[in-house]
Amino acid sequence: MDRQRTRHRIGILGAGNIFGRYVEGLRTFPELEVVRVADVDTARARQAAAEYGIPAWSDADELLDDDTVEIVVNITPPRFHAKTVIAALEAGRNVYVEKPLAATVEEAREVLDAAASSTALLGSAPDTFLGSAVQTARHALDSGRIGEVVGATAFVRSSRAETWHPDPRAFYGPGGGPVLDMGPYYVAALVNCLGPVVQVSAATRIGATTRTVTSPERVVDEVTVEVPTHASATLTFASGAIATTVMSFDVWDTELPRIEIYGTEGTLALPNPNFFDGDVRLKRHGDDQWRVLTPVTELFGAVGTPEQHRRGLGVRDLAGALDGGPHRANPEFAFHALEVLASFEISQREKRFVDLESACERPAPRPVVSAAH
């Protein structure tokens, strides 16, 4: 059967801030059909269904009881990920969950055990590494464009969530902070490009202990910070490459790059890995100017437009895996990214290098539709 023509029926669990981004992104793929939305607040689920023309709305239990739903897209807050993912897997539903895989490594291990015991498939964000930007960088690296990779830098600056999110408490509570909120996108990009991490050394701290919420539609005026908001870490990869990272909700203004990868023959500069697309630039030793590489895969959305906020490539990846294709945004990859980031706190608390217990394969690259040059 033609993988691209197989129809997959989707129920979305959670009708919060990123719900619309998923609906809009999933609707770009004819093979994916959103048939139900569920939320603990059923009034919100009903409103979301009406706004986006989704035929059914309910609470979570009704969603999991709906045998017509093949894939559950779980966009609940991180502290609920483990419980809701396990419940969906036990109900026989394939699941795609937003990052992180779970709020803690311990909970994530329980999720992996549940997935291993189930015939259903589990996929997880971050999936932006599936976009044209990181795929183009990966192709350049695999083609030897910068020689042997020596090191990398990655800088997470504040998303200023308190200025646009109506209830940013999750950003500053367990499962949040710059490390677990934005860090997964950066670590996923690096692991996709460079392979698994074997060791982490980090220092973390809290900046301002309270944050004033200025979002026009805010439901709280102030947030108490419960997790570190500034972290600096060194990641050592199995390949021998070393990455230096800063992840912060206290850096609002900076001229630092998002991600750069340094090789024996040149440098690659990557755009914001929170988006799927953007310019990947190459400067080989001896070049006078940076060159923008031609994307090797199609764009998910027009760069510099609201289309870049859409989500859904990882759900399409899961659907493709159900039809026999490669599963790139898989739970082992997501678990490894989570363990890397959770190691920041361990390194800070115990004042030591942390050796990673997990590893993962570099995901298979997506098919090249045009050669980068």
- The whole-number average pLDDT for the span 277-284 is 98
pLDDT (0 to 100) of residue 211: 95
The enclosing H or E element of 86 equals helix 81-90
Give Cα separations from 272 to 59, 139, 140, 202, 258 (angstroms): 35, 18, 18, 22, 6
d(CA 14, CA 23): 12
pLDDT in tens, 172-222: 988 789 999 999 999 999 999 999 999 999 999 999 999 999 999 899 999
The Cα 167–Cα 315 span in angstroms is 26
The pTM for the full model equals: 0.93
* Residue range 321-342, pLDDT digits in tens: 999 999 999 999 999 999 999 9
Q: How confident is the model at residue 5 (pLDDT cuts 50, 70, 90)?
A: low
Question: For 268-286, what is the mean pLDDT?
Answer: 97
Using the predicted structure, report yes or no on whether residue 344 has a pLDDT greater than 60: yes
Q: What local confidence, expressed as pLDDT, does residue 4 receive?
A: 46
pLDDT tens per residue across span 95-133: 999 999 998 999 999 999 999 999 999 999 999 999 999
Q: What is the pLDDT of residues 282-334, one digit of tens each?
A: 999 999 999 999 999 999 999 999 999 999 999 999 999 999 999 999 999 99
CA separation, residue 162 to residues 205, 211, 350 (Å): 19, 7, 31
pLDDT at 372: 64
- DSSP state, residue 352: S
Per-residue pLDDT at 174: 81
Task: Give the number of other Cβ atoms within 10 Å of residue 358's Cβ.
Answer: 18
Most confidently predicted of 4-13, 25-34, 162-171: 25-34
Check residue 353 and give its pLDDT. 98
pLDDT, mean of residues 137-151: 98
Which amino acid is it at 321? A
Locate 363 and state its tokens: 């995901």
Residues in the chain: 373
Please list the residues that pair with 242 across neighbouring strands. 151, 236
Q: What percent of the chain has pLDDT over 70?
A: 98
Q: Collapsing DSSP states into helix, strand and coil, what is residue 339?
A: helix
Query: What was the pLDDT predicted at 3?
Result: 42
Distance between CA atoms of 366 and 91, rounded to whole angstroms?
31
Q: What's the pLDDT score for residue 221?
A: 94
DSSP summary character for residue 307:
G
- Please report which helix (H) or strand (E) contains residue 259, including its range: strand 259-263
The reply to whether omega before 363 is within 30° of 0 (cis) is no
Among residues 139, 128, 126, which one has the least CA distance to residue 280? 139
Q: Is the pLDDT of residue 2 over 60?
A: no
Angle, helices 183-194 vs 132-142, to 10°: value is 30
Structure confidence at residue 6 as a pLDDT band (50, 70, 90): confident
Render pLDDT for 35-92 as a digit per residue (tens, 0 to 9): 999 999 999 999 999 999 999 999 999 999 999 999 999 999 888 999 999 999 999 9
β-bridge mates for residue 243, sequence order: 152, 235
Cα–Cα dist 44/107, whole Å: 28
